Every structure is written in structure tokens, then in C-alpha cells.
Amino acid sequence: MVKAVVGANWGDEGKGKITDMLAREADIIVRFQGGANAGHTIVNDYGKFALHTLPSGCFYDHTTSIIGNGVALNIPILFQEIQDIVDRGVPMPKILVSDRAQMVMPYHILFDQYEEERLGGKSFGSTKSGIAPFYSDKYAKIGFQVSELFDEDLLKEKVERICETKNVLLEHLYHKPLLDPQELLETLHRYREMVEPYVCDVSSYLWNAIRDGKDILLEGQLGTLKDPDHGIYPMVTSSSTLAAYGAIGAGIPPYEIQKVITVCKAYSSAVGAGAFVSEIFGDEADELRKRGGDGGEYGATTGRPRRMGWFDCVASKYGCRLQGATDVAFTVLDVLGYLDEIPVCVGYEIDGEVTTEFPVTSKLEKAKPVYRILPGWKEDIRGIRSYEDLPENCRHYVEFVEEQIGFPITMVSNGPGRNDIIYR
Ligand code: GDP
């Protein structure tokens, strides 16, 4: 069976933890989109890890970790990450890299930085990992596929051609040092050496695995609201964050994705710019940020403090619908135990009218949150394993959210560890 683990919101919902947990029962875990721009934080028997490119199931002996064709593959970062986990005692993961994955080039990272610099105050708040320039090049058909590393003539010719166009921009738009084709070619030779043992026709591999009845997890990055089509465009990421894209980014038939586990966090957080209707500020936000996640809500990749807010039923209902949620995993509920009362955003007021439908960006900018205040439970719920043992107000919170979003919450996460989970 194929299951996707994806986010309903702005990312950082705790997908890494849920994937790591579900990977116990899985054979193969596939990253299908995104790059090293966001991170998953995982706490398990080996310690605490921030993964950026490796699938979150790479901590088990029995799993194969796959970088799908939809990923923005940064080869040095991938190999650094493998080295880091192995150095910390994790067995060398079994890795496969799609021959159709494209590579983040050193100049993508430079262009990302230069463009943010050029935009100044109007920047997108990019993580400067080269993701937007990478996907732009992919769709402009000037990207480099892993398979192309193994065709020297093609590679040489393409490197020359691409340096020529990139250098025009570097010289005239950004006024920065030019690319040297020879140096770039040498870099690509190094990438070839590193990646060669792992290159695989992934779609064919997965086709056979599905036929053999293997359990496969597709791991998404970020969440619905960062999807380039359905998110808060243009403050989005550059590849689709939806489970549907899992079929494309892994290379499997869409009908094989039978479960879409959509991860929703019990409050909201976001990184980068863009409308965030239930955002909170000041001491209230600082307190939640400090207590949030596992050791505070700070970016796993960038260390940036995350923007904080109350749970947003409008955004989450939409987020779950676009993912096609079969199951909702409701995470980080334990963090809310300090509050006397918990506001929940149940509607958006736009031009005097209240709606529960998530609008397009221009309307979203005008939306004001409509809150319902729920009573807190003022208890530490970590360690509880059965739903019935949760405090009444806590169950009430879960059930209220479930009713508002209209998708079943089948898992409640009450701690960062693998076993901190309550099945309903
Ligand atoms: P991802 O990108 O969706 O995987 O999310 P992140 O890893 O960026 O953020 C989730 C953070 O919350 C991490 O620090 C996790 O260890 C932590 N976390 C996940 N689930 C829970 C939970 O149920 N309770 C607490 N306290 N922390 C959690």
C-alpha cells in the first residue's frame, strides 16, 4: 500500500515525526518534492536530528530511502547529511536516487541570494537554498538531470551553453562574478562520483515494489498553503506540496496512493512572508514559540524564529481538502497545556462578511480572524497513550477542531518521540 504523509498548513506540522513513526511498518520511504530548504526534526532512539533531504524513514535497518524525481537534489547536502547521521551511530541507510531527479547547482544558490538582495525589502523571505532558481530552470528546460552526469559530451556542451546565459544575468543584472564552465564541469564530475552508486530507475523500482505488496510512504515537504497553485501565491514554494504530486514526484500511478495522512499542528506557525490570518504577536506569541514543538519554534534549516498563531480551522479545512486527507494526524497538542483558554480561528471576516472558505491571496490579505474561545485543560498530557485518558477539555478541543475541518483525526501526537502517539 502507498501512503502519503503531507502537511495541511504552512509546513512544520510535524510530518517528520509522523513519517519516522509510520516508517516502522514501511519498506520504502520516498521524498517526492522540495529540496534542502526546509527541515524535518526527528527525535528517536539515536537522538535528535534535523533532516533536509533524506527521507525521515532513514533511521531503520529495514527501510529503503528514495530521492524521487520531483526533488531538488543538492548532492553535497545529501551526502553531508548521510555522513552526519552515520557519524552519530545510525546504520548506513539504503539510499536510491532517481536518475530523473534534477540537481541544485551551485549557481542556483547564488542566484537565490542575489535575487533576494536585489529585491531588498520586497523579497520573498527565501531560505536561499536555490529552490526557486532550480525549479525555474527545470521548467525552462535548462536543468541538469542526474542521468545527464553520465553523458560526458552532452554535459560539456550543456555546461558551456548554460554558463553563457547565466553569465549575462550575472554581469548585467546582478554585477557579480561570472561562472567558469571548466570549474562547473569539475563540480559535476564530483557529483557524479558521489551519486553513481545510488542512481536508480525509481519509477520502475517502485512499480515492482507495489506489485510485490511493499508498504511505501511518500513524504511531503511544507504544506498545502505553500503549494504554488493552491497556496498563498506568490509566498509559496516552487514545487507542489500536495499528495497528488506524490504520484508524479515518485513516478507511480495516482490510484496507488490509498491513504493521505495529513498532518495538522494544534496551533499555527509559519516561516517566511505572506498572509497569516490567525497570527499572534508580542508576549503571547513569544510564550507559544518558546514552548512550541520540541525546544521552541525555530526553523530546522535556518534557525529563524517562526511566526506563531492560533489554530486556523478555515486554512486547515482547506488544507486537508486539497490534500485529499483520509486521516488527520493532529500534532503538538501537549504544548497547549499551559493555557487557561485557547482561541481557535473558526472564520474569516472579509469586507464585513464571515466565511469559512479559504480565499485567494488578495482577499486573504484583508481577512480578519473570527475566534471561538475554548477552555484549556491545564495539564501535562505527555505520556498518555489512550484517547479516553486525555482531560475532557483536551478531547473537546480535538473534537471541536475535527468537526470544524470535516476530516477524521485518527492520530493525536502528544510529544516529539516515536511513541508519543494516541490512535483514535
Ligand atoms: P515537519 O517539517 O513537518 O517535519 O516539522 P518540523 O520538524 O519542522 O517541526 C515539528 C517540531 O515539533 C519538531 O521539533 C518535532 O520534534 C516536534 N514535534 C512533532 N510532534 C510533536 C508533538 O506531538 N509534541 C511536541 N511537543 N513536539 C512535537
Q: Are strands 327-331 and 409-413 parallel, antiparallel or unpaired?
A: parallel
Question: ∠ CA(405), CA(260), CA(363), 5° rounding?
Answer: 45
Q: Residue range 380-385: average pLDDT?
A: 97
C-alpha cell of 339? 493555557
Beta strands in 99-227 (DSSP E): 102-103, 199-200, 216-219
Closest ligand 1 atom number to CA of residue 420 = 23
Closest ligand 1 atom number to CA of residue 16 = 4
Q: Say if ligand 1 is within 6 A of residue 294 CB.
A: yes
Q: Which of 12, 227, 312, 334 is labelled catalytic?
A: 12
Q: Does residue 307 contact residue 270 with C-beta atoms inside 8 Å?
A: yes
pLDDT digits (tens, 9 = 90+) for 383-421: 999 999 999 999 999 999 999 999 999 999 999 998 999
pLDDT for residue 272: 82
Q: Say if ligand 1 is within 6 A of residue 230 CB.
A: no
pLDDT for residue 403: 98
Q: What is the mean pLDDT of the chain?
A: 94
pLDDT for residue 268: 97
Give the Å distances, CA to CA, from 322 to 326, 329, 372, 410: 11, 16, 24, 18
Confidence of residue 339 (pLDDT cuts 50, 70, 90): very high
312 among known catalytic residues: no
Q: Does residue 242 contact residue 323 with C-beta atoms inside 8 Å?
A: yes
Q: Which of 409, 151, 127, 384 is nearest to 265 (CA)?
A: 409
Cα 42 from Cα 49, distance rounded (Å) = 5
pLDDT for residue 73: 97
Q: Residue range 2-24: average pLDDT?
A: 94
- For ligand 1, the distance from its centroid to the CA atom of residue 140, given in whole angstroms, is 35
**Which region holds residue 262: left if phi is over 0, alpha if psi is between -120 and 50, else beta?**
beta
- For ligand 1, the distance from its centroid to the CA atom of residue 264, given in whole angstroms, is 11
Q: Say if ligand 1 is within 6 A of residue 43 CB.
A: yes
Closest ligand 1 atom number to CA of residue 414 = 23
C-alpha cell of 134? 532550480
Cα 412 from Cα 18, distance rounded (Å) = 10
- For ligand 1, the distance from its centroid to the CA atom of residue 357, given in whole angstroms, is 27
Q: Say if ligand 1 is within 6 A of residue 226 CB.
A: no
Long-range CB pairs of 84-89 (<8 Å, 24+ gap) are: 85/46, 85/49, 85/54, 85/58, 85/59, 88/46, 88/47, 88/49, 89/46
Residue with CA nearest ligand 1 atom 10: 14
Q: Say if ligand 1 is within 6 A of residue 41 CB.
A: yes
Q: Determine the 3-state secondary structure of 304 from DSSP.
A: coil
Q: Which of 326, 179, 231 is nearest to 33 (CA)?
A: 231
- For ligand 1, the distance from its centroid to the CA atom of residue 82, given in whole angstroms, is 21
Give the Å distances, CA to CA, from 242 to 19, 226, 321: 16, 9, 10
- For ligand 1, the distance from its centroid to the CA atom of residue 54, given in whole angstroms, is 17
For helices 202-211 and 243-250, the axis angle rounded to 10 degrees is: 110
pLDDT for residue 127: 76
pLDDT at 166 over 90: yes
Q: Which of 20, 27, 40, 153 is labelled catalytic?
A: 40
Q: Say if ligand 1 is within 6 A of residue 130 CB.
A: no
pLDDT digits (tens, 9 = 90+) for 311-323: 999 999 999 999 9
Q: Say if ligand 1 is within 6 A of residue 297 CB.
A: no
Using a pLDDT cut of 70, give the percent of the chain over it.
99
Ligand 1 pocket: which of 33, 241, 332 to mutate (most atoms within 8 A of CB):
332
Give buried/exposed letters for 286-303 (b at 16+ CB in 10 A, else e): eebbebbbbeebbbbbbe
- For ligand 1, the distance from its centroid to the CA atom of residue 214, given in whole angstroms, is 27
Residue with CA nearest ligand 1 atom 18: 416
40 among known catalytic residues: yes
Closest ligand 1 atom number to CA of residue 421 = 23
pLDDT digits (tens, 9 = 90+) for 93-139: 999 999 999 999 999 999 999 998 998 877 776 778 899 999 999 99
Cα 268 from Cα 270, distance rounded (Å) = 7
Q: What is the pTM of this model?
A: 0.94
- For ligand 1, the distance from its centroid to the CA atom of residue 416, given in whole angstroms, is 6
pLDDT for residue 300: 67
Q: Say if ligand 1 is within 6 A of residue 13 CB.
A: yes
pLDDT digits (tens, 9 = 90+) for 19-48: 989 999 999 999 999 998 877 777 888 888
- For ligand 1, the distance from its centroid to the CA atom of residue 23, given in whole angstroms, is 16
Closest ligand 1 atom number to CA of residue 19 = 4
List for the chain the helix, strand, coil content (%; round to 5): 40, 25, 35
Cβ neighbour number for residue 16 with a 10 Å cutoff: 27
pLDDT for residue 301: 66
pLDDT digits (tens, 9 = 90+) for 38-93: 777 778 888 888 888 888 888 888 999 999 999 999 999 999 999 999 999 998 99
C-alpha cell of 377? 485543560
Q: Say if ligand 1 is within 6 A of residue 331 CB.
A: yes
Give the Å distances, CA to CA, from 110 to 7, 13, 102, 127, 174: 29, 29, 17, 12, 10
pLDDT at 198 over 80: yes
Q: Say if ligand 1 is within 6 A of residue 17 CB.
A: yes
